[in-house]
Amino acid sequence: MQTWWHVVEWRSTSDPDQVAIRDDRQVLTYRELRERCEQRAGGWYDAGVRSGDVVAILAANSAEFLCQVLGLHRLGAIPLLLNWRMTQFEVTRLLTMTSPRAVFADGPRRALVSDDFAGVRVHDGAAGGGWLGASELTGAAPERPVDRLMPDEVSLLMHTSGTTGDPKVIPLDHGSLIRTLSGFAIDIGTQVRGSRHLIMMPMFHLAGFAQAMQCMLTGGTLLIHDGFDVDRVIDAIAEHRVNFFTAAPAIIEVLVQALEGDRTGADVSSLVEVQYGAAPIDPQLLERAVATVCTRFRQIYGSTELQGFLTVLRPEDHVAGSTRLQTAGQVALGWEARVVSADGLPRTHGESGELQVRGAYLFRGYWGSPTETAAAFTVDGWYRTGDQARLSEDGYVQIVGRVKDMIVSGGENIYPAEIEQALLALDGVLEVAVVAGPHHRWGETPVAFVVLSDDGGPTVDQMRAHCRERLAGFKCPSEFISVAELPRNTLGKVLKTTLRARASGAAVT
C-alpha cells in the first residue's frame, strides 16, 4: 500500500459490503465509497484539476468530506484541509499562501471564500452564484496518476498558526500516516476488523482525520458527527454499538456529567476504549469516567508536524494515584526524544527544558516557508516542539509548559502573537500581550492585556467585535484588561509570567 487510495481499493475488495461510512445523509459500503470517490476524481479532472494541484476543502465532518479528500487522492491531487471556524480574512490569507486550483465548500462555509478568489468552486448542495453543485462533480475517472505516487509524496496539507502570527502550512505524506496508524492499531490490540468508530472531532485537524483513516485501515465502520452534542453521542453509542471514539478531556467531562445525571442508565456498554489528547485527564474525572463511560482510556500526544503521535499513555497506566497520570505517556516506537536547556545543553532525567524529537515520520518542512522550517529544527536535525517538558528514565514525558506561550483551549492551539497582531491593528491600541487564563470547561482561554492611548482608545466591545471579524471565535480573548504599562524585565522583554499569574488570579511576588 503506497497511498490512502490504495487502502480504499484494498478495502473495496476485501470488505466490499461492509459499511464504511455513515452520517446523517447517507450510508456507504466500501464498494460504494470507492465508486463515489472515483466519480469525484473524474469530476475534478473534468473541471481542470490535475495531479499535484492543491484543492482546498472547507467543510464540516461528513461522508462527502472524505469522498472529496479520497477522490483527490485518486487523482493524485493534494487536499488542503481548512479550519471552518476561521473568518473570511483568515481563509483568504491561507488561500493566497497556497494558491489552490479549486475549492470545495459546504453550504454554511461558502461565505468564507472571498469573491476575489479565482478558481473552480464546488458546493455541497444546491448550485448557484458561480459554484458547481457537488452532485455535478461526477465523471469518468482519468488515467491513474496515483499509481505513480510514492509513499513519501504529499498526501494532504494542514495548517496551524505560526508563533509570529502568520499561519504555517504543513505537508503530510501518505506513507508516514499509514505506518503510524498501522502501528497504533497493533498497539491497541483489541481493535479488530469491523470495529465501529464515532468521530466528532473535526477532520480538518490531524486527530480527527487520523481517527477516520485508522477506522478505514482496520476495515471498520465510521459514524460521522459534524460536532459534539452530548445526547446525540449517547444515543449513537447505544443505537450503533460504538466501540471507539476520541475526544478532549473537556468533552469527556460533559459526557460523564450527563451519564451521572439526566442520562443515567443509558447503554454505553459497547465502548471498548476512549482515546483523548490535548491535555492530561484529571484523576478524579478519570475515576468517574471509568465508572460511567468505559474502563479503558488512552492518552495520545503528538502534533501535525510529527504526522501522528509521539507518546502514548496506555490503559494500564491509567491507575488511580499513579504519578504516570501526570504525564503524556511513553515515547513510541520510531521516535527519539530529548530535553534541552535554553542554550541547547542536555537536561538530566526529571529536569525541565524544551522537548525536541526526531524520527522517521517527522515532517520535512513547512509549505513554502524555508525560514520557518529552518527555525523549527536544530543544526543536527532535532525538531523543536516548543513544549517545555520533563523526560523520565523510562521514557515517560511530562509536559509542564509551552516554550512558545501557546494556549490550548478545548484542544485548539492558539498562538498569542496572532491575537496581538489583530489588536495592534486597532487605532488607539499601543501595546498588547496575550496570555492563557483558566477556563472551567476548555482548560485555557486567551486573556488580553492592553495599553491604550491617552484618549482612551477602543472600548472592550469594540476590541471584541474587531477580534471576531478577524479571528476564529475560539481565538478571541475572553477578557480584555486595560493596563497603564506592560511589565518588563531589564532587557525590555514583556514578563508574561507576571501577566499569567494575574490572569489566573494568583498572587504575584
pLDDT tens digits, 431-449 = 899 999 998 888 899 999 9
* 489/508 Cα distance (integer angstroms): 15
Q: Is the pLDDT of residue 116 over 90?
A: no
Residue 167 lies in a domain: yes
Nine-digit cell string for 207: 486527530
Given a contact cutoff of 8 angstroms between Cβ atoms, the answer to whether 501 and 437 are in contact is no
Q: What is the pLDDT of residues 54-113, one digit of tens each?
A: 999 999 999 999 999 999 999 999 999 999 988 999 999 999 999 999 999 998 898 899
Query: Do 351 and 447 reside in the same domain of the chain?
Result: no
User: How many CB atoms sit inside 10 A of residue 464's CB?
Assistant: 17
Given a contact cutoff of 8 angstroms between Cβ atoms, the answer to whether 88 and 471 are in contact is no
Residue 235 lies in a domain: no
Q: Which of 174, 205, 233 is the last residue of a domain?
A: 174
Task: Report pLDDT for 190.
Answer: 54
Query: Do 118 and 102 reside in the same domain of the chain?
Result: yes
Query: Do 127 and 12 reside in the same domain of the chain?
Result: yes
Query: Do 416 and 432 reside in the same domain of the chain?
Result: yes
Query: Do 436 and 369 reside in the same domain of the chain?
Result: no
Q: Which of 377, 402, 427 is the last residue of a domain?
A: 402
Task: Report pLDDT for 504.
Answer: 81
Rg (CA), the chain: 23
Query: Do 383 and 416 reside in the same domain of the chain?
Result: no
Range of the domain at 41: 4-174
Nine-digit cell string for 422: 489583530
pLDDT above 90 as % of the chain = 59
Beta strand 479-482 pairing with 443-452: parallel
Mean local confidence (pLDDT), 131-160: 80
CATH number at residue 427: 3.30.300.30
Domains in the chain, number: 3
Name which of 469, 476, 479 is nearest 449 in CA terms.
479
Residue 412 lies in a domain: yes
Task: Report pLDDT for 226.
Answer: 93
* CB hemisphere CA count around 348 (13 angstroms): 0
Residue 423 lies in a domain: yes
Q: What is the pLDDT of residues 293-314, one digit of tens each?
A: 999 999 999 999 999 899 999 9
Residue 308 lies in a domain: yes
Task: Report pLDDT for 367.
Answer: 95
Mean pLDDT, the chain, whole residue set:
89
Residues 6+ apart with CB under 8 A from 247: 200, 201, 228, 255, 274, 275, 276
* 126/135 Cα distance (integer angstroms): 9
Query: Do 465 and 481 reside in the same domain of the chain?
Result: yes
Residue 242 lies in a domain: no
Residues 6+ apart with CB under 8 A from 225: 23, 61, 198, 199, 200, 232, 233, 236
* 328/249 Cα distance (integer angstroms): 13
Q: Name the more confident of 422 and 280.
A: 422
Query: Do 387 and 429 reside in the same domain of the chain?
Result: no
Query: Do 468 and 359 reside in the same domain of the chain?
Result: no
DSSP summary character for residue 313: E
CATH number at residue 303: 2.30.38.10
Query: Do 347 and 422 reside in the same domain of the chain?
Result: no
Task: Report pLDDT for 193.
Answer: 79
CA 386, 388, 393, 394 dihedral sign is negative
* 364/367 Cα distance (integer angstroms): 9
Q: Is the pLDDT of residue 165 over 70?
A: no
Task: Report pLDDT for 507.
Answer: 40
Please provide residue 283's backbone torsions phi and psi, each rounded to the nearest 5 degrees.
Answer: -55, -40
Query: Do 451 and 433 reside in the same domain of the chain?
Result: yes
